[in-house]
Amino acid sequence: MIDLRSDTITQPSEEMRKVMSEALVGDDVYGEDPSINELEEFAASLFGKEAALFVTSGTQGNLAAVLAHTRPGQEIILDKESHLFLYEGGGASALAGAQLRILDHERGQMKIEEIEASIRAEDIHFPETGLIWLENTHNRSGGNVLPLSYMKDVYALAQRNNIPVHIDGARIFNAAAASGTSVEEIASYADSVQFCLSKGLGAPVGSILVGTQQLIDSARKKRKMLGGGLRQAGVLAAPGLHALKTNIDRLKEDHENAKMLAEAIEEHTPLSVVNTVETNIIMADTTGTGKNSGEWLSVFKNNGIQAGAMSPTIIRFTTHLDLSKEDVQNTIDLLKNL
């Protein structure tokens, strides 16, 4: 079975398992896990930020960021298809008491004027705007990269209004690889970034939140509150560090594979690819094919390919570390014979 449901499905390599079994560990709630400390220091320096925090998942990292940046009743400006809004169980509202001010977007970009118009003025009736939220790459638009110039404009607007900016950078290394820039440069237009070790980078567990020392100290406390204070978790941090040191440069292969697959989907199936494939995600529309997403997923599965439904009409295919060039060729052959 060729599994294209997500880049989260990768298996830790032999080398990663070896690194895990040999990891030095200690109690991280006491700040004594050498592997976690090394990972956090490495991540902070990679992103040009003061400090970093290892968290169990992207969802936990995003929620810890919301809790550290905002007070209950404050508003977060974000796009209406952001992962935080759609797929994180309403945690920002349920657990952080944040009100979400969702805006339209195009390829992950909310209009600067609309962000500006949504920032709350001082008025006894209004909630305060506590945070501006960006997602890079933008999952629902098909892994689109936010242009640096856009990020710069949003950050300038935020700074003029004294509002922090957070990037949900679950796939920020894909953004950096596709745009030929560094994560440090992207992160320079935000106060905090959450990125995932367990997506394109291929680690089995974990995400990292980076930001100022003050923000990370606060997020560490919030993570404890969320039940994320881990003990000898160096066994989980070590493969993350290994992933950061070995799996960044190869992400462009995932992007090339996604482009090849997108062409094959266009050519050999009635589905139409609706995103510009910039990174590792392909979105294909089933409209007018006589079958909906669920029915197409069954057809694909019966032919050895797994993909994911993003809506009743849109199917997502995601390339990743465990998909070799040979697998791509096999997938194309399977598509030809559907």
C-beta of 83 vs 242, nearer to ligand TLP: 83
C-beta of 74 vs 198, nearer to ligand TLP: 198
For residue 111 the two structure tokens come to: 């209009």
Q: How far is the CB of 160 from ligand TLP (least distance, A)?
A: 27
C-beta of 58 vs 204, nearer to ligand TLP: 58
Q: How far is the CB of 122 from ligand TLP (least distance, A)?
A: 32
C-beta of 60 vs 119, nearer to ligand TLP: 60
C-beta of 62 vs 129, nearer to ligand TLP: 62
Element (H, E) at 129: strand 129-135
CA dihedral sign of residues 291, 81, 51, 171: positive
Computed over its alpha carbons, how large is the radius of gyration of the chain? 20
Helices (H) and strands (E) in the chain, counts: 14, 13
Element (H, E) at 155: helix 148-160
Identify the three-state secondary structure at position 102.
strand
Q: What is the DSSP string of 208-277?
A: EEEE-HHHHHHHHHHHHHTT---SSTHHHHHHHHHHHHHSSTTHHHHHHHHHHHHHHHHHHSS-EE-S--
Q: How far is the CB of 123 from ligand TLP (least distance, A)?
A: 33
Residue 271, class by beta-carbon neighbours within 10 Å (0-12 exposed, 13-18 middle, 19+ buried)?
A: buried
Q: How far is the CB of 318 from ligand TLP (least distance, A)?
A: 7
Q: How far is the CB of 162 from ligand TLP (least distance, A)?
A: 26
Provide the binding-site residues for ligand TLP, judged by CB under 6 A.
Answer: 6, 8, 57-59, 62, 83, 87, 135, 139, 168, 170, 196, 198, 207
For residue 307 the two structure tokens come to: 């993909």
C-beta of 119 vs 151, nearer to ligand TLP: 151
Q: How far is the CB of 3 from ligand TLP (least distance, A)?
A: 12
C-beta of 119 vs 209, nearer to ligand TLP: 209
| Among 203, 113, 192, CA closest to 150 | 113
Whose CB is nearest to ligand TLP?
A: 58
Q: How far is the CB of 7 from ligand TLP (least distance, A)?
A: 7
> Which of the 8 DSSP states describes residue 121?
P
